[in-house]
């Protein structure tokens, strides 16, 4: 591990708004003290809690927190070195409505009580084109989100991937989930939306390559039997390119 990463990890250990608990620790019986008590024991208010899954550098967590001081935001990711960027910004700006949790997304029910989360953002996840169970909008994950999402809460998916967007729409349709917004080109349909035009590091890269950004907002209704769509979806060819080919595409823009 590089000295730079070690330095970042050491700094985050000193941040009172960053929490780290590994899946192995949870599997061994460790408990997270703030579960069900985020409002009174960390944020000190009853404002809605919004989480960003796979937050990366925290651009959306920070951007949303700046725009909505009357809400609380928590970025979640397993990659601590990336998370350091957003965590440090929140620390330096003394942002009181921001926290970060370093853990795997499949463990989030250990960190939030039923109904504790008002809204979920999923920003530019790996589409996992060959592994259904690892897609963050698969029915396996929706079952998990259903445990923590408050009644009337909704999920926001923002992605470059036509594959993942098509799949997510199919999941919503086959399970009769209420869809609030569905667009395959955010900057053509919502160019004036101050929230949807927040750009992450990866989003800027995709835009530079001429790839459109897709967005789906949908709710979760209780399903007795979640259904996976049985459809063939073309893979995103550009995601199959090697690093050299992707570099050539970027250089050509």
Residues annotated catalytic, as ranges: 126
CA 132 to chain CA mean position, Å: 17
The radius of gyration computed from the CA coordinates of the chain, to the nearest angstrom, equals 18
CA distances from residue 134 to 105, 106, 130, 166, 187 in whole angstroms, order as listed: 10, 9, 9, 16, 28
Strand 149-159 with 214-219, pairing: antiparallel
Using alpha carbons only, give the angle 139, 158, 32 rounded to the nearest 5 degrees.
60
Burial 188-206 (b: 16+ CB within 10 A, else e): eebeeeeebebebebbeeb
Q: Specify whether the CB–CB gap between 140 and 133 falls below 8 A.
A: yes
CB atoms near residue 137 (< 10 Å)? 25
* DSSP output for 174-235: HTTPPEEEEES-HHHH-TT-TTTT---HHHHHHHHTT---EEEEEE----SS----------
What distance in Å separates the CA atoms of residue 211 and residue 209, rounded to the nearest whole number? 6
């Amino acid at each position: 591990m590089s000295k730079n990463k070690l330095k970042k990890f050491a700094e985050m250990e000193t941040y009172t708004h960053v929490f780290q608990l590994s899946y192995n620790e949870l599997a061994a019986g460790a408990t997270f003290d703030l579960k069900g008590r985020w409002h009174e024991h960390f944020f000190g208010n009853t404002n809605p809690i919004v989480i960003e899954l796979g937050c990366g550098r925290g651009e959306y967590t920070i951007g949303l927190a700046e725009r909505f001081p009357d809400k609380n935001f928590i970025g979640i990711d397993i990659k601590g070195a990336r998370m350091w960027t957003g965590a440090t910004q929140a620390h330096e700006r003394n942002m009181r409505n921001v926290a970060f949790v370093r853990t795997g997304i499949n463990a989030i029910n250990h960190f939030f009580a039923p109904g504790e989360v008002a809204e979920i953002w999923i920003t530019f996840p790996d589409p996992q084109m060959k592994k259904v169970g690892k897609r963050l909008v698969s029915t396996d994950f929706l079952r998990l989100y259903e445990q923590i999402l408050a009644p009337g809460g909704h999920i926001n998916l923002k992605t470059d991937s036509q594959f993942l967007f098509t799949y997510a729409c199919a999941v919503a349709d086959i399970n009769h989930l209420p869809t609030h917004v569905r667009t395959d080109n955010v900057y053509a349909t919502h160019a004036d939306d101050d929230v949807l035009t927040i750009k992450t590091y990866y989003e800027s890269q995709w835009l530079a390559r001429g790839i459109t950004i897709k967005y789906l907002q949908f709710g979760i209704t209780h399903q007795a039997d979640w259904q996976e769509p049985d459809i063939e979806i073309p893979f995103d060819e550009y995601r199959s390119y090697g690093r050299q080919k992707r570099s050539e595409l970027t250089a050509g823009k």
